[in-house]
Structures are given as C-alpha cells and as structure tokens.
Amino acid sequence: MSESTAQFAGLAAVRGWQEELYRDLHAHPELSHQERATAAKAASRLDQSGFEVHRGVGGTGVVGILRRGDGPTVLLRADMDALPIKEATELPYASQVTATDDAGAEVSVAHACGHDLHVACLLGAADVLAAEESWQGTLVTVFQPAEETGDGARSMIDDGLSRLSPKPDVAFAQHVLPFPAGQVATRPGPVLSAADSMRVTLHGRGGHGSMPQATVDPVVLTALIVVRLQTVVSRETPPGETAVLTVGSIQAGTKSNVIPEDAVLQLNIRTYSEQTRTTMLDAVRRIVVAECQASGCPREPEFELFDRFPLTDNDATTTTRLAAAFAKYFGERAGALPQQTASEDFSDIPSTLGTPYSYWGIGGVDPTAYRRAVEAGRVAQDIAVNHSPNFAPVVQPTLDTGTQAMTVAALEWLRS
C-alpha cells in the first residue's frame, strides 16, 4: 500500500465532524477526575459509531467495544484530562474555562498537553474501523481519566476494565509531541521514564538561634542531605544510564533567630529501568537516615511516596511490527522517537493485564514553523512544548495522522 492509495474509506466522513469536535474539546477542557462532559461526548460518538459503550469506568472513564467474532483483541487508549494552566495561544477556540481544583482553589484550565487531540483521534479511528469490513476480532477503545495525576489508568483497572472484554493481545496509545505535524515516531524498549516523587520529613530539635548547642538544626541537616543526594546519580548510577534526581522543594523555619523543629524536602526521581529506580529510592532512604543519625536527630525521618508513574517500556517485537506497518502506510513520515524524560500511566493497563504494548508519538507542530526554528537554531525558544500555556498543535495534518496511526496499528493485528 503506497501513501497515495492508503486512505481509509471512512476517513473523509470522519473529517466532517472530527475537526469541530476537536475544537469543542479544546475550548472546554476539564481537570483530572472531572472529565464528565468530555466523557459524555466520547460515549455519544462511540454510540453513533455502533460500539457497545460502558460509562463511568474508574470515575469518568469510557470504554467502547466492537465485537466481530473470533480473532485478536486490540486495545486502543486515549487520555481525556486537561491541566490547571491559563491558555495563552490566542486561538479562536482557546479555553476560557476555570474550575475548582482538588484543593478548592479556582484555576484556569487548558488542554496544554493535547489530550483533546488524543480523544478526537481515537474517536475518529473508532469510526473508521467500524466502517472497515476487512477485520475480525474485538476492538476495545479506552478513554481514560486523570493521566496527569497518574492514577486514571489504575482506577479503570481497579474498577474492572479487564472484565469488559477478552484479554487484549496488544495495547496501543499515542501522544502528540513538539515535532512536525504529519510525522509518527516509534521506539522499542524504554520510551518514557518512570517518575517517583518523595516527601521527606526531618525531625530536629528547635530552639533559640543564639543557642545552637541546645538544638538539632534541621536546616543544616537539610543542606547536607541535598548536597549528599547529588551523589546518587553521579556515584551510584551506571554512567551510560539516564537518571534524574531533583530536590524541588525545601520548607523549614519561620524566623531568622528560631531554629525550627522540622524540615520537609520534596524530591523527584526519573529512571528508565526498574533496577535503577529501586537502587535510587533505596539510596535516598539510606543517605537521609544516615545524615539524620550523624546530626543526632531525636526521631527517625519519615518518607512518603506520591505522584508515581510507571516505566513505559515498549515491547520490542510489537514495536518492530508496528514500525513496519507505519513505514508501509506513512512512508518517510514514519521515523524513530528519541527517549523522552516525560512520564505516563498508560502502561499500568497493559502491564496489569499481561499484554504487550507500544506507545508512540505524533507531531503537532506546523512543519514550516518547525523548519524555520531549526534553521535559526531556536527550536527550544520558538516551539511551544507540552504543558506550555502556548502549546497549540495545528489541527491538520495532526488529526488525520493520529487517526490513521491508530487505525493502521489496530488493523495490523485485527487483520491477522
């Protein structure tokens, strides 16, 4: 199949509603766990495409299933949530929305990560696949809440996602990223990092700033710990391996002449293998406990892990087959994806089900603007990345590409 003859019959009909749906989703973003209107739009569209629709799976999650007898089961996933960011794109369909976050604060909301695009693409692919008669098996489309908070995939699993369909033989997800629109990019093996945030509470002994001999100063202790933690990556992680440890927050004290009782550190760790992840988390605990002991703390420190994202480790066999299918369909527009330092919770679904998976990237940047930025050596300055208030994928060919990529991937397995 060459690129020119590769158009799916249903694609033209999809374009008729998909661009409008995308702009509507973009203008009406919803925070993690609050994706009620988005879920309703997805469910209603799946209904029109002839899918069996399950609503309210793991909160606002939606599952659409199309059963066509014996054959493989393919799971396609899109995330639905937006971010507490004030959009600065000046697009005619830019978000003006505000919402109440979990802490009760009124915040601006924007689709600054492109999940609106993922939803529109998967609904498009679902419709194209429903119109294609050349396959057999079961197609499962998953519209997931709360990716940004890292717990949406897990909540769908916990709410019985696996009981709705046969066990998937393969699972796919995609993300729009800051490279030229029209391109798709795959990578076998670890593609997105695992992420772990940790809150460490240190217990000193407070007292007057003029009498340090009567105290255990948690501020000095914190400073020593922060410096010592720099050796976790530089001295304990193999040089060829990518790992990041950042102390992003330190809180202690209220006044210049009061030595506080406690200090709280928050740190973030990114890794590309389970082994390195475990080694680093253990090293942090070991160093903190030992420094507390060295300072003579009256109580043991406390550790709390939060905002944890699993490693996204693309199955090599699946990804090689997928890359070949993309190369056949997209020609030179299919390429390789560099390893990303971002994190995702998609893999919680296939990992729990024991299903091989692949997660790929699609470009969302106007190709001309991207080429100009490259020529000027200004990609970092001029191309808005995900989570930027200026993040604005071009509608086409991004929607077409994401729709076709999902369709090509599903058919590669459903036609076998």
Q: Which residues are catalytic?
A: 81, 147
CB of 359 to Zn ion, least distance (A): 11
Closest residue to Zn ion using C-beta atoms? 113
Going through 44-188 in order, the beta strands assigned E by DSSP cover 52-57, 61-68, 73-79, 98-100, 106-108, 137-144, 170-180, 184-186
Cβ nearer to Zn ion, comparing 11 with 112:
112
Q: How many residues bind Zn ion (CB under 5 A)?
A: 1
Cβ nearer to Zn ion, comparing 29 with 124:
29
CB of 118 to Zn ion, least distance (A): 8
SS3 for 218? helix
CB of 100 to Zn ion, least distance (A): 20
The label of the residue with tokens 């054959």 reads 71
Give the closest residue to 174 by CA, choosing from 319, 378, 44.
Answer: 319
CB of 362 to Zn ion, least distance (A): 12
What is the contact mask toward Zn ion in residues 368 to 397, using x (rule: CB under 5 A)? ------------------------------
CB of 148 to Zn ion, least distance (A): 5
Cβ nearer to Zn ion, comparing 45 with 175:
175
User: Does 128 participate in binding Zn ion (rule CB under 5 A)?
Assistant: no
Cβ nearer to Zn ion, comparing 149 with 295:
149
Which run of H or of E encompasses 189?
Answer: strand 189-192
Residues 160-189 that bind Zn ion (CB under 5 A): none
CB of 364 to Zn ion, least distance (A): 11
Cβ nearer to Zn ion, comparing 113 with 265:
113
Residues 312 and 359: beta-carbon distance below 8 Å = yes
Pairing outcome for strands 73-79 and 170-180: parallel
Residues 343-362 that bind Zn ion (CB under 5 A): none
Residues 102-121 that bind Zn ion (CB under 5 A): 113
Residues 79 and 116: beta-carbon distance below 8 Å = no
Which of the 8 DSSP states describes residue 31? B
- Please enumerate, as own/partner, the contacts of 365-373 that have beta carbons within 8 Å and a separation of 24 or more: 365/178, 365/179, 365/180, 365/181, 365/393, 365/394, 366/180, 366/181, 366/394, 367/180, 367/181, 367/182, 370/179, 370/180, 371/180
R_g of the chain, CA atoms, integer Å: 24
Cβ nearer to Zn ion, comparing 112 with 232:
112
Contacts of 155 (CB under 8 A, 6+ apart): 58, 59, 61, 145, 146
CA–CA separation, 348 and 77 (whole Å): 12
User: Can you give the length of the chain in residues?
Assistant: 416
SS3 for 394? coil
Side-chain-side CA neighbours of 388 within 13 Å: the count stands at 14
CA–CA separation, 402 and 175 (whole Å): 9
Number of other CB atoms surrounding residue 232 within 10 Å: 21
CB of 131 to Zn ion, least distance (A): 28
Cβ nearer to Zn ion, comparing 117 with 129:
117
Binding site for Zn ion (CB under 5 A): 113
